[in-house]
Amino acid sequence: MTLDLARLSATETVAAIREGSLSPVAYAEALADRAARHAGLNALQSFDAGDLIQAVRQAHAAHRLGALSGLPVVAKDNINTTTHPTSAGTGALLGHKPATDAGVVRRITAAGGVIGAKAGMHELAFGITSNNAVTGAVRNPHDPALIPGGSSGGTAAAIAAGIFPLGLGTDTGGSCRIPAALCGTVGFRPSTGRYPRDGVVPISHTLDTVGSFARCVADISLLDEVMTGHPTLRRDDLAGVRLGLPTVRFFENLDPAVERATADALTRLEAAGATIVEVSLQDIWAHAEAFSIPVGLYEVVRDLPHYLQEHAPEVSFEALVAGIGSPDVKGFIASQLGEDAIPEQAYREAMEVHRPAMLRIYRSVFGENALDAIVFPTTPLTARPIGDDETVELNGARVPTFPTYIRNTDLAPNIGAPGISLPCQLSSGLPVGIEFDALPGADGSLLALASAAEKAMAQ
């Protein structure tokens, strides 16, 4: 019975609690049992079963008819919570208790939700493995020897393992969609600015957004309603939907398992009525390369000090840097504190020249082909072993870990577009994700499309 409760979707759970067929306390106890059984995943950084049960009881009593009605939610450890420490997985912030909740947390609690735990992550959200030298490696529920993806790896692992039904992450270059693909969950990056961003440990105010994880699209839509106040759009099928297939770059050098799963998913989408047309985004990549990493590196050493001043004034930026334990993260930050730092002129060109050009090209491709979304494999490869931080094996060669995993997910943040990764239907093997990206601001339509696609791929 406990396993069945832990595998309920968020929407099923809320409905059962409201109609009285499920006790919110019994549900919280089932999740606590699940968390204990999967403690070896290191998915959770801050969790207390007694606190969860008490918080659920209180939230349900106060918000019985709220949209979340006492539902427990797990939040990435870089999102401010007054009920749990917020460390961003880095040494100088361990035990840090913010004075105020992040904006997204306030909306969850106002709807009757409960932040039940904080999730492990790549240190300071600056990586895609969640192999954290300070708090330990997060492990993939499908194979604990493998990475869950990152940087929101703990949230994805907790959702995939059935510890929580719904979770918050952040996404700067793919940090919700990559872990979703590797762990077999749904991961959503909304358009930049759709969700509140106050009270989140930043990398880049240009690229960052809070995103979400669940085991079905309906639950992602439920949380989107809580965050925006906008009702979910409905689409019953894919009839009339036009999907662009950007074969150049997105479909190159794929892991055979990813190639097979993606081909099968595309066949199912076409059979369900979608029209799939090949499109080219070739002209966008020179602009993307001049924008993505330079903007992230330039802004992180400016945005982090601002966060500390507002939310953790007892921690200096120098102390934060000194407390970084993961070599890859320390290298990224150190590169911007010396003569190799991104110059202001390069940053200005990125913002004033390259970003407008990317948006123009992207919108043109959508307009000329009457697209509802583009579709592609979320990552070129499945999960790889923990410890392969610098290079991973792909088709018999060693390739750089970070740029390979973010290759397909990095475009959406550059232009502020929404993207959602859905798990492909597999009979065996590791999870594979397929991603749908839409125009900036078209989140509601994208979620409706994703719901229909989810149904089609399950046929």
Q: How far apart are CA 62 and CA 64, in angstroms?
A: 6
Which among 46, 69, 130, 151 is annotated as catalytic? 151
On whether both 267 and 353 belong to a single domain, the answer is: yes
pLDDT for 1 equals 40
252 domain-assigned = yes
Mean pLDDT, residues 274-299 taken together: 98
47 domain-assigned = yes
Tokens of 259: 């190639």
323 domain-assigned = no
Which SS3 state, helix, strand or coil, does residue 376 take?
Answer: strand
Which SS3 state, helix, strand or coil, does residue 93 take?
Answer: helix
On the question of pLDDT at 405 being above 70, the answer is: yes
Please identify, among 205, 228, 251, the residue that sits at the C-terminal boundary of a domain. 228
Q: How far apart are CA 200 and CA 175, in angstroms?
A: 14
On whether both 158 and 284 belong to a single domain, the answer is: no
DSSP-assigned letters across all residues of 55-74 = HHHHHHHH-TTSSSTT-EEE
pLDDT for 61 equals 92
Q: Is there a catalytic annotation at residue 455?
A: no
On whether both 65 and 212 belong to a single domain, the answer is: yes
Q: Is 11 exposed, middle or buried (0-12, 13-18, 19+ CB in 10 A)?
A: middle
With CA atoms as reference, report the closest residue to 163 among 41, 22, 342. 41
Count: domains in the chain: 2
On whether both 169 and 211 belong to a single domain, the answer is: yes
Q: How far apart are CA 199 and CA 102, in angstroms?
A: 4
Q: In terms of DSSP H, where are the helices of 211-343?
A: 217-228, 247-250, 256-271, 285-289, 292-311, 317-322, 327-334
On whether both 359 and 431 belong to a single domain, the answer is: yes
DSSP-assigned letters across all residues of 101-135 = --HHHHHHHHTT-EEEEEE--SGGG--SS-EETTT
How many beta carbons lie within 10 A of that of residue 185, not counting itself?
30
On whether both 222 and 277 belong to a single domain, the answer is: no
Q: What single-letter amino acid sits at 165? A: P
Q: How far apart are CA 398 and CA 419, in angstroms?
A: 28
152 domain-assigned = yes
Tokens of 322: 């000194």
Mean pLDDT, residues 353-370 taken together: 99
pLDDT for 3 equals 45
On whether both 362 and 215 belong to a single domain, the answer is: no
Mean pLDDT, residues 264-268 taken together: 98
300 domain-assigned = no
pLDDT for 65 equals 84
pTM for this entry: 0.98
Q: Is there a catalytic annotation at residue 445?
A: no
On whether both 184 and 263 belong to a single domain, the answer is: no
On the question of pLDDT at 459 being above 90, the answer is: no
Please identify, among 196, 228, 260, the residue that sits at the C-terminal boundary of a domain. 228
Q: For all residues of the chain together, what is the average pLDDT?
A: 97
Q: Which tens digit of pLDDT belongs to each residue from 192-235?
A: 999 999 999 999 999 999 999 999 999 999 999 999 999 999 99
309 domain-assigned = no
> pLDDT-derived band of residue 64, with 50, 70 and 90 as boundaries?
confident
On the question of pLDDT at 262 being above 50, the answer is: yes
On the question of pLDDT at 2 being above 70, the answer is: no
> pLDDT-derived band of residue 297, with 50, 70 and 90 as boundaries?
very high
Mean pLDDT, residues 275-293 taken together: 98
On whether both 192 and 263 belong to a single domain, the answer is: no
Q: What single-letter amino acid sits at 417? A: A
272-303 CB burial, b ≥16 within 10 A, e <16 = bebbeeebebeebeebbebbbbbbbbbbbbeb
320 domain-assigned = no
Please identify, among 180, 196, 228, the residue that sits at the C-terminal boundary of a domain. 228
Which among 46, 76, 292, 326 is annotated as catalytic? 76
Q: Which tens digit of pLDDT belongs to each residue from 128-181?
A: 999 999 999 999 999 999 999 999 999 999 999 999 999 999 999 999 999 999
pLDDT for 425 equals 82
> pLDDT-derived band of residue 426, with 50, 70 and 90 as boundaries?
confident
Which residue segment(s) compose the domain that 80 sits in? 2-228
CA angle 209, 306, 99 (to 5 degrees): 80
268 domain-assigned = yes
Which among 69, 87, 152, 175 is annotated as catalytic? 175
Tokens of 100: 């105020």
Q: Which tens digit of pLDDT belongs to each residue from 247-259?
A: 999 999 999 999 9
Q: Is there a catalytic annotation at residue 69?
A: no
On whether both 247 and 223 belong to a single domain, the answer is: no
With CA atoms as reference, report the closest residue to 153 among 165, 34, 162, 167. 167
Percent of the chain predicted with pLDDT > 90: 96
On whether both 172 and 265 belong to a single domain, the answer is: no
What CATH number is given to the structural domain containing 426?
3.90.1300.10
Please, which residues bridge with residue 75 across strands? 118, 168
Mean pLDDT, residues 38-62 taken together: 97
The radius of gyration computed from the CA coordinates of the chain, to the nearest angstrom, equals 21
On whether both 119 and 266 belong to a single domain, the answer is: no
